[in-house]
Amino acid sequence: MAEFVHVDAARNIIFDARSKGRRTPIAVVGLRDSILVQTDDAVLLAHKSQAQKVKELVRKLGEDAKYKKLI
């Protein structure tokens, strides 16, 4: 599990899905009501109120060959 450091942050969902190799800390400042997902290949940051739009993002990523590996 990576270290998580924050200043003035609340009500966030932070998910570290990186492989078990060397992990750098995840740090946020002033972030509220958000979802942050970090993988080995990408970072997703979304406001909780927009979570339903992740399906749209996945569709868009799938349409572009250079991002297809992310889905």
Q: What are phi and psi of 58, to 5 degrees?
A: -60, -40
Domain definitions of the chain by residue range: 4-70
Look at the chain and count its residues: 71
> Tell me: the pLDDT tens digits for 9-29?
999 999 999 987 778 899 999
- Three-class SS string for 17-37? CCCCCCCCCEEEECCECEEEE
> Tell me: the pLDDT tens digits for 30-59?
999 999 999 999 999 999 999 999 999 999
Per the CB < 8 A criterion, the answer to whether 42 and 63 are in contact is no
Q: What are phi and psi of 44, to 5 degrees?
A: -115, 130
Is residue 51 helix, strand or coil? helix
